[in-house]
Amino acid sequence: MTDAPVATSTVPPAVAAAPSTAPRKTQPARPAPRRDAGSLAPGLNPMAVLHALRRRWKSAVFFAVPAAVLAAAAVWLLVPATYTAYAVLGIDASEPKLVFDTAESKPDFNTYRQRQIGHITSHFVLNAALRKPGVGDSATLREQPYPIDWLETHLEVGPHRSPEFLKIALTGTRPEELAAIVNAVKDAYLEEVVHAERNARMTKLANLERIFEETDEKVRLKQSRVDKLARQLGSGDSKALSIRQQMSLEYFAQLQREYSRVRFDLMREQIEPNSSLKSPSESGALDVTPGIDSPRSALEASAAGSADPEITLIARRIAHLRDLISRFEKQVVDKSHPALAEHRRQLQTLESQLAERMGEPDPAGVEPPTGSAPRPASRRLSRRETLQRQEQLLREEVEKYSSLVDTIGTSSFELESMQTELAQITKISDRVYQELAALKIELQSPPRVNLLQSADVPQKKDLGKKAKLTGMAGLGTLGFILAAFTLVDVRQRRVSNPAEISEELTLPVLGSLPPKPLMPGDAAMAEWDASLVEASDSVRTLLMRPAEDGKLRQVFVVSSAASGEGKSTLAASLARSFARAGRRTLVIDFDLRRPTIHQLFGLDNEFGASEALNKEIEAINVVQESGHPGLWVLTAGGCSKYAVEALAKGEAGRLLRELRTEFDCIVLDTPPLLVLADGGVVGKEADAAVLAVRRDDSRIPFVAAARDRLTALGVPVAGAVLVGYRSGLQQSVYDYHRRERALAKA
């Protein structure tokens, strides 16, 4: 039998031990209890939680199931059924178009859809929805202190059956108002966002028309200026103007060289009028070198030797022009180039002037005017006069071509800049016109967002949410109560396995006693008895070892921290084990207030330890045989206050000294150490103490307090025995005894 468990919720107050002699033995200070490295808090780790749930799940379920049913029923009755009203919008996967792609931004589908969801739940749209008649005054929204915030939170916007379908839904208890609110939000979104996008496109079209008109006007003005400048330059081709400028520059350079030479000759003539050196002009041989491919005519040859400086200059200019035209005809492909045509015209004019000066017909076949008077014969000019006339004519020609070259260079650069700017403006104008034309057409395409379904008044109650809340309430209550029971048990830090005794309490674990079968039967009880024998023999083997001083221990006190932890069962089992080992064994029940030993052995409890302590009878005279060979029992007897007082005065020591000579081994069953002081008083007279620790009942702080009390009294603590714990090795004991019974039957 085992002790009946007694529930204790608080640590019992410490009871001072009775005065006694000095302790015979002291133990060294024990190290502080070690904690599991994985512990979340003292006594709290995953394994502790699992063991607590294992211990308390039955009692927790006993309370939790009715509470969960009540909570679920309350939620089902109190939470009203809801309705859901919704509207559906369609969003095209890509921007609709008729023909052209416009320059408008085209976000991808997911980005565009998320943007529309944000628009629907924005304060701008929700404010517009609340302004609609009958929406802001609805009871659903009047109940809310902040209707817009409530709508923003409770309005559900998301995909509906397909990513291209957008659902606007609202759940509540008033179906008509729900449909009205959803439709108001839908209409506000279409008006404020979708239609606004189309209005923005119309505004863009108007801006494009204005920009096109402005750029087109700039193109016309710029083209007019380019045409005017081209007419002034004689050509609008920048390449032609460049060739013309190059030809004019070369001709201008030749004129400058001729002008410099004539001025040099004139200066020399002024300084040395009678110089014997003659310049080419004196001898009439002017440097008129015609082009390679342009033969000199007889008229030009005679003009080269003429004494008239004007004729000589004209001949020289003709020669230069012929040479220039010949060289540029080799460079350009187009023989009718405007620059060449201009120089050919100048050449023809000079040839006509030369023929007119020489009094001969125009080489080009132009006859002098009819009736014109013959030119008078000019007198022979001096060399100085000739040079002066040449210098004057060349200066006029140089000044003329200098201005012409500057004008051509500046105007050609300006023309090229204007043409470049005109091309850029024209390109912009064309691009604007293309976008304008495309947008005019694409404005006829349908919008990307369109209405598929307006919100109807819902007729069907939404019981799914109600059922979900009901289930959550039931499961939540069940889980809360299970968690509460588990947490309370974890906080009590009950012993679950031998490792906790050795690690938390630093107590040697002498062994464990298997739990009694829940459904006793002959076979089950036989297996339990066999396992109990083996377990107690293992503990007895450890206790029979010599003490530290080499002496064999004779008196063992068996106690516990609190009641109901199996100390009496352990004491009886150890006594039987010592007797089986051939030692004369006596078990004494010193738990005078709640004796149990006589029940375990089926003995009479009329006289026993109480009477021996009061000296009413000799202890040896009330010792009873237990029915087991070598084992005797001294029951508690009739408990009285005198017996308790005698126990406190140390009469237990006198009693034990008398019995030590009669028995080899004495096992003492004492009251719980933390409940009464009797256990400590009796324990001082023992050679060693054994603590009974019941699995799932004993609490680590209480066991530690009992251990510390024995240590303080100088009682050597041999170790602890875990009661009600079945180890894996004990299952092997069952298998051995089962095999023995099978062999016996065979």
Query: Whose CA is closest to 261, among 379, 357, 398, 354?
Result: 398
Q: Are residues 171 and 279 in the same domain?
A: no
**Chain centroid to CA 176: how far?**
42
Which domain CATH number covers 121? 3.30.70.1130
Amino acid at 93: A
In angstroms, the CA 277 to CA 215 distance is 71
- For the segment 139-195, what is each residue's pLDDT rounded down to a tens digit? 888 888 999 999 999 999 998 888 889 999 998 888 999 999 999 999 999 888 888
In angstroms, the CA 266 to CA 383 distance is 9
| Domain end point (choices 401, 436, 453) | 453
- Confidence at residue 746, expressed as pLDDT on a 0 to 100 scale: 52
Query: Whose CA is closest to 666, among 676, 654, 657?
Result: 657
In angstroms, the CA 292 to CA 288 distance is 12
In angstroms, the CA 713 to CA 26 distance is 8
pLDDT beyond 50 at 290: no
Beta strands in 533-687 (DSSP E): 555-559, 585-589, 624-625, 631-634, 665-669
Query: Whose CA is closest to 543, among 667, 638, 703?
Result: 667
- Confidence at residue 23, expressed as pLDDT on a 0 to 100 scale: 37
Query: Do 531 and 730 meet the contact criterion of CB atoms below 8 Å apart?
Result: yes
Q: Report helix, strand or coil for 151.
A: helix
Q: How many domains does the chain have?
A: 4
- For the segment 637-692, what is each residue's pLDDT rounded down to a tens digit? 888 888 888 888 888 888 999 899 999 999 999 999 888 888 888 888 899 999 99
CA dihedral 470, 475, 476, 480 (to 10 degrees): 150
Cα–Cα separations (whole angstroms), residue 575 to 387, 586, 658, 666, 724? 162, 7, 19, 8, 18
Q: Are residues 194 and 251 in the same domain?
A: no
- Confidence at residue 70, expressed as pLDDT on a 0 to 100 scale: 93
Q: Are residues 73 and 91 in the same domain?
A: no
Q: Are residues 75 and 91 in the same domain?
A: no
The model's confidence at residue 255, banded by pLDDT at 50, 70 and 90, is confident
Amino acid at 77: L
Residues in the chain: 746
Q: Is residue 133, in this structure, part of any structural domain at all?
A: yes
Q: Is residue 226, in this structure, part of any structural domain at all?
A: no
**Who wins on pLDDT, 633 or 24?**
633
Using a 10 angstrom Cβ sphere, with 0-12 exposed, 13-18 middle and 19 or more buried, the burial of residue 660 is middle
Query: Do 393 and 338 meet the contact criterion of CB atoms below 8 Å apart?
Result: no
What is the number of helices (H) and of strands (E) in the chain? 23, 12
- Confidence at residue 476, expressed as pLDDT on a 0 to 100 scale: 92
Q: Report helix, strand or coil for 378.
A: coil
Query: Do 397 and 257 meet the contact criterion of CB atoms below 8 Å apart?
Result: no
Q: Are residues 255 and 267 in the same domain?
A: yes
- Confidence at residue 302, expressed as pLDDT on a 0 to 100 scale: 57
The model's confidence at residue 634, banded by pLDDT at 50, 70 and 90, is very high
Q: Are residues 154 and 263 in the same domain?
A: no
Q: Are residues 256 and 188 in the same domain?
A: no
- Confidence at residue 239, expressed as pLDDT on a 0 to 100 scale: 57
Q: Report helix, strand or coil for 105.
A: coil
Q: Any idea what DSSP says for residue 620?
A: G
Q: Is residue 623, in this structure, part of any structural domain at all?
A: yes
Which domain CATH number covers 548? 3.40.50.300
Helix, strand, coil percentages, rounded to 5, for the chain: 55, 10, 35
In angstroms, the CA 635 to CA 597 distance is 6
- The contacts of residue 270 (CB under 8 Å, 6+ apart) are 384
- Confidence at residue 720, expressed as pLDDT on a 0 to 100 scale: 93
Using a 10 angstrom Cβ sphere, with 0-12 exposed, 13-18 middle and 19 or more buried, the burial of residue 417 is exposed
Angle at 183 between CA 180 and CA 186, to 5 degrees: 150
**Who wins on pLDDT, 428 or 321?**
428
In angstroms, the CA 179 to CA 83 distance is 10
Q: Are residues 408 and 557 in the same domain?
A: no
CA dihedral 601, 607, 610, 611 (to 10 degrees): -150
Query: Do 326 and 335 meet the contact criterion of CB atoms below 8 Å apart?
Result: no
Q: Report helix, strand or coil for 409.
A: helix
Phi then psi dihedrals of residue 513, to 5 deg: -105, 135
Q: Is residue 601, in this structure, part of any structural domain at all?
A: yes
Q: Are residues 741 and 724 in the same domain?
A: yes
- For the segment 364-399, what is each residue's pLDDT rounded down to a tens digit? 444 444 444 444 444 455 666 677 777 777 777 777
Amino acid at 686: A
In angstroms, the CA 524 to CA 215 distance is 108
Q: Is residue 9, in this structure, part of any structural domain at all?
A: no
Query: Whose CA is closest to 473, among 76, 60, 82?
Result: 76
For tokens 């079945």, name the residue. 726
Q: Report helix, strand or coil for 702.
A: helix
Q: What average pLDDT does the chain have? A: 77
Q: Residue 173 is encoded by which pair of tokens? A: 């208890």
Query: Do 565 and 700 meet the contact criterion of CB atoms below 8 Å apart?
Result: no
DSSP string over 267-308:
HHHHH-TT-S---TTTTT-------TTSPPPHHHHHHHT-S-
Angle at 540 between CA 539 and CA 542, to 5 degrees: 70
Beta strands in 386-520 (DSSP E): 449-453, 509-513
Q: Are residues 293 and 174 in the same domain?
A: no
- Confidence at residue 268, expressed as pLDDT on a 0 to 100 scale: 75
Report which listed range, 265-269, 422-426, 468-472, is most confident: 468-472
* Total Cβ atoms within 10 A of residue 113: 19
Q: Is residue 282, in this structure, part of any structural domain at all?
A: yes
The model's confidence at residue 256, banded by pLDDT at 50, 70 and 90, is confident
Q: Are residues 133 and 263 in the same domain?
A: no
- Confidence at residue 669, expressed as pLDDT on a 0 to 100 scale: 93
Q: Are residues 404 and 485 in the same domain?
A: no
Q: Is residue 292, in this structure, part of any structural domain at all?
A: yes
Q: Is residue 428, in this structure, part of any structural domain at all?
A: no
Compute the radius of gyration of the chain from its Cα atoms: 64
Query: Whose CA is closest to 503, among 31, 64, 180, 10?
Result: 31
- Confidence at residue 560, expressed as pLDDT on a 0 to 100 scale: 92
pLDDT beyond 70 at 584: yes
Angle at which helices 109-120 and 175-189 cross, to 10° = 120
Mean pLDDT of all residues in 481-491? 88
Print the domain residue range for 136.
83-200+447-453
* SS3 of 526-537: HHHHHHHHHHHH
DSSP string over 718-741:
EEEEEET---HHHHHHHHHHHHHH
**Who wins on pLDDT, 267 or 594?**
594
